[in-house]
Amino acid sequence: MASKASLYVISGPSGVGKGTVCKALLAREKSLAYSVSATTRSRRPGEIDGVHYYFLSKEEFLRRVEAGEFLEWATVYDNYYGTLRPFVLEQLEHGRDVILEIDTNGALQVKKLMPDAKLVFLEPPSEQELLHRLVGRETESPEEIAKRQQCLAYEMSQKEYYDYAVVNDEVERAVDEIRQIIARRRSE
């Protein structure tokens, strides 16, 4: 009998490359469903509503919190981010494995609610490398970078609560390691 569908949470500090790794993972593992999060942060150039995020006003986000629409939600760098519960549950019910790309607080909320979820902590080869990437991607202002830098030590300390730690030294290698985690789980 096929084993039941699993929820995988890819998390880790800001700038570690969660987005890049998830994109490459989804390109390789077509059967995975990616959960598009909701956020109150403003849209960056090139981002599409409903593809990268559902961009919501604070009022609308809080209305959905009240309505119980989020599996988890957290305040990250002064904005709200959340995972929409119906999408995740529907995919799992239909036997599809789901990937969440969320911050460390959200990841631990998911683990509490769904202990079978597999938490993958994506870590940088070094903190210096991570700061270099944060500055290099040019998507945040210097103030935002400073904020993210302040959170780094806390985010790194969360690693111990995860099921797996994967070093993002090279995207394809990190993706292969996550694919092995998925393959092992599927064969259980």
Based on CB atoms, which residue is closest to ligand 5GP, 74 or 182? 74
Based on CB atoms, which residue is closest to ligand 5GP, 74 or 130? 74
Based on CB atoms, which residue is closest to ligand 5GP, 102 or 182? 102
12 is annotated as contributing to ligand binding: yes
Query: Which stretches of the chain bind ligand 5GP, using CB under 6 A?
Result: 14, 18, 37, 41, 72, 74, 76, 81-83, 101-103, 105-106
Q: How far is the CB of 72 from ligand 5GP (least distance, A)?
A: 6
Based on CB atoms, which residue is closest to ligand 5GP, 37 or 158? 37
Q: CA-CA distance, 187 to 3, in Å (whole number)?
A: 7
Q: How far is the CB of 83 from ligand 5GP (least distance, A)?
A: 4
Q: How far is the CB of 85 from ligand 5GP (least distance, A)?
A: 11
86 is annotated as contributing to ligand binding: no
Q: How far is the CB of 183 from ligand 5GP (least distance, A)?
A: 24
Burial category of 167 from C-beta neighbours within 10 Å (exposed 0-12, middle 13-18, buried 19 and up)? middle
Torsion of CA 169, 173, 175, 179, to 10 degrees: -140
Annotated binding site for ATP: 12-19
